[in-house]
Structures are given as C-alpha cells and as structure tokens.
Amino acid sequence: MPAGAATGASEVAPGLLRIESVMGSRRLAQWLVVGDDGALLLDTGIAGTVVDRIVPALAEVGLATEAVRDVIVSHADVDHYGGDAEARRLLPAARLGAHELDRPLIESWATIAAERYGWYRGYGLDYEPETWQWLADAAGAEAALDGTVEDGDVIDLGRIAVRVLHLPGHSLGHLGLFEPTSRTAIIADAAMADGFVDVGGERVSPPPYVDLGRYRETIERLRSLAPARIGTTHFPPIEGDEVEAFLDRCLGFTRELDRALDEALGDAPQGLPALLAACAERVGGYREMELELSRSLGAHLAARVEARAVERVELDGLPAWRRR
Ligand SMILES: [Zn+2]
C-alpha cells in the first residue's frame, strides 16, 4: 500500500462517510450518507467493491446492510456502477437509481461499450485489448436500476438530507449530492482538475468530458454553491481554500486544451489521432489512458464546429478537422 492512501471508512463531516480503496494506481471512493432513518450510498465501485469494501465498511460503522435504502449511481463508468449487481444482492432494501440520460449505459454493457467506450472507434482510435478486458471485468454483472433521480430531488434520511445535483459534462447524466449543513458537495467525477492523480498525488490520466459547455457550467455551478469541501471519487478530500483552487484548475485545464487545439489545428485537415498526439504533448502528457484526452478534444471540436470556427471534413474515410 503506497503511503498516503487511507483505506476503509472515514467520516469527513457529520453523517458523511468516505469509503476508500485503491484501484490500480488511483484512489477509488464511494460515499455513504447516514441518517437516523437509513443510509444512502453514492456509487458501487467496480465489480467486487461492494463485497470487499462497502459491506465491511457498513459493519465497521455498525450499520446493517438493510439500513441502505438508496443507492445512487453518479454516472455511467464501470468504476462507479460495477458493483450494482452485488448491491442488488447484498443491500436488499436499497432502491437503485441514476439520471435518466446515463441509465441505459449503466444497465447494459453492450450500450456503454458501443456509446462510451467504443466512441473512439469512429475516429480511428481504440483502447488496447487488455483495457477492454479490464473494463468488461470491472463492469460486473448487468443489473437493472429501480428508477431515475434528477436535479433538485431531496433525499431525507432523518437528521440529514441531501439534494441531488445534475452535473453534466464528464457524462451527460452525471449526478452529485449537496449536504447543506456541512456545505459538502459530493461530485464523483463531475470536475477532474487537469487529470486524475495516483495515490502519491502525481497526475496520471486525462480528464475526459463529452460536452465542453456543460462541463464549464458544472464547474461554475459548483463554485456558486460555495462548498466548504468537495468529495470526489479519485482525489483526496478537497477542503476550504483548496475548493476554489481545485475548481480554478478544472476550468484552467479547459482553456489550456483550447490553446493546445489552437496551435494544433491548421488549414490541412487532421484526424483525431493526430490532434490527440499534438495536444497531449502540449498539455504535458499522461502515462495512463491518454486516449481519453481525445474524448475531451472531441467536445472542444464539436463546440468549434457549432461556432463555425472549424470545419469537419473527411480524411481517409474518418472524420477530420481544419480551421475555417
Ligand atoms: Zn471514475
């Protein structure tokens, strides 16, 4: 276990627990909101997380598995919903929910493999076979959700209540929670600074977002909530003055990638693999999952095409872009 990687359950504010483990080089956290009438779990991790981490964490804090009445999946990524089938089995009283825009991807491997993880194939890029295998394993068995959750829903657990936030950008249906008493925003992957970090704090993989405008709006919305702390899935807890600095870094990255794209785009059309290589180098490179920077580039390019600053054409049968 690398230094500085706390695992197990820790209370970050009254009634708000972070359940942390390590996934590859990164932290992986789920969040538990505990009231007098029951508990809410945000995210189920990857396949195995509920069995290995969440059920033991509940026991550690003296909660019965039946106390968990709500499971909210923040968004459609295997490290956030891969334990859904285990939650269905081991948390018998829980109602499983997600935002309607991400629900179809969360419920079906075929759908998320085609639309989220397979998106790159339409642009001449793809994950390595080992990564595909890891994703399929981490996704766990398919599990249907019980329903949907949306912005403004208030979940009252007795003595503590949380408000659901729709925080799109990383995915279109990304959800978070706001707890007003401690002013804690739990945002999973809704804002990702200049990339995810390893347990030692070193940046390892890019921040992928599918919609640039919505991602920037989400960052500003989080700022307007003036949280005392932000809880994420892959970063250590962010407290006090670090909150503004973190949100500045999130927004700053989108500007940095804009500048990298400005320098990379030319009069001759280029496909996404070429733009990815040029922009990754300009933003400093990533040692893991560098491919996912191209998802964010796709979002920047779509915004520029819409603003008629860039033209999307075809090159060797694949999409390509050039300055207008
Ligand atoms: Zn994640």
3-state secondary structure 37-92: CCEEEECCCCCCHHHHHHHHHHHHCCCCHHHEEEEECCCCCHHHHCCHHHHHHHCC
Measured distance CA(99)–CA(45) in Å, rounded: 17
Beta bridge partners of 26: 23, 198
pLDDT at 6: 53
Pinpoint the alpha helices (H) of 61-183.
78-81, 84-90, 103-107, 109-115, 129-139
Q: What is residue 122's predicted lDDT score, i.e. its pLDDT?
A: 97
Which phi and psi angles does 162 have, rounded to 5°? -125, 150
Q: How many Å lie between the centroid of ligand 1 and the Cα of residue 268?
A: 36
Q: How far is CA 116 from the centre of its chain?
A: 13
Q: Could you tell me the distance, in angstroms and rounded to a whole number, from the CA of residue 233 to the centre of ligand 1?
A: 6
Q: How far apart are CA 270 and CA 321, in angstroms?
A: 5
Instruction: Report pLDDT for 4.
Output: 41
Find the 310 Cα to ligand 1 centroid distance in Å: 31
Distance (Å, whole) CA 23 – CA 28: 6
Distance 224 CA to ligand 1 centre (A): 24
Ligand 1 centroid–CA 234 distance in Å is: 7
Mean pLDDT, contiguous 10-residue spans, the chain (324 residues): 58 96 94 98 98 96 97 98 98 98 98 98 98 98 98 98 98 98 98 96 97 98 98 96 98 98 97 98 95 98 97 97 96
CA of 74 relative to ligand 1 center, distance in Å: 9
Using the mean position of ligand 1's atoms as its centre, give its distance from the Cα of residue 312 in Å: 30
CA–centroid distance, 281 to ligand 1, in Å, is: 23
| Site of tokens 């992986």 | 28
**Sole residue written with tokens 């276990």:** 1
